[in-house]
Structure 1
Amino acid sequence: MDDQLVLAVTTTLASKGAEALVSGARSATGTLVRLVRGRFCSGTREGDALTAAMAHPDDRSLQAALASFLASEMSRDPTFDAAVRAAWHRLSNQIDNSSRHNVVNNFNGTAERVVQARDIKGDVVF
């Protein structure tokens, strides 16, 4: 089991999980949260650990408990392991692109027109 991956996923779930759920985002973070929430049902020890870690993102002991459950489940189920790794890969690529000042456009919802741009020089007329 890749401990660094489990810790990174756990930290992301704790720090960004609640935000992704509230916003209903179809982001890579939202995908990761939905994947783990789908596995860790509410009312179970695992589900309670996920809920607690998301409610108290600075509590390292809650993150450690969640990491333990996540690592155990990933070791037990290769399909879940592969799904978590794929979701993390998409999320980390999104983070890498953002940190290199590349453009990452995300749009959710409905609109008649949407304009997304970066580094415009000169006039823009609509």
Structure 2
Amino acid sequence: MRYYNDQPSDFIFYQGLTLRMLGREDAAKRAFHKLVSYGEKHLFDAVAYDFFAVSLPEIEVYEQDGGLRNRQYCNYLRALGHLGLGQEQKAGELLAQVTQKEAGHQGALEAEHLRGLRAALGL
């Protein structure tokens, strides 16, 4: 679960792209592998809400399925890692899993858009 002071993990994807643009391919790959590794490690974590926490990023009136939310986040991060590593098919499968359960997942929709742009530009 994320808190206000946590850096969003998907920023690591953009750091990886920036490192790649700077010619630091090894560092870029480490960033992408970090996303895949984190997502795989935490995919099946048991998540519980701390109703007394003051730094949760969203105020939720009704409790949501924390396990589902965690799996969605982990699959999204894994998809970004695979996308950065050039594993388009795996990234697409994971993004499809995310959007199947949450059609409006902004990060997954943006990643799908990026995949389409890369394919159209031949990158």
- Pairwise TM-score range, normalised by the shorter structure: under 0.3
* Higher Cα radius of gyration: 1
Task: State TM-score, norm by structure 1.
Answer: 0.27
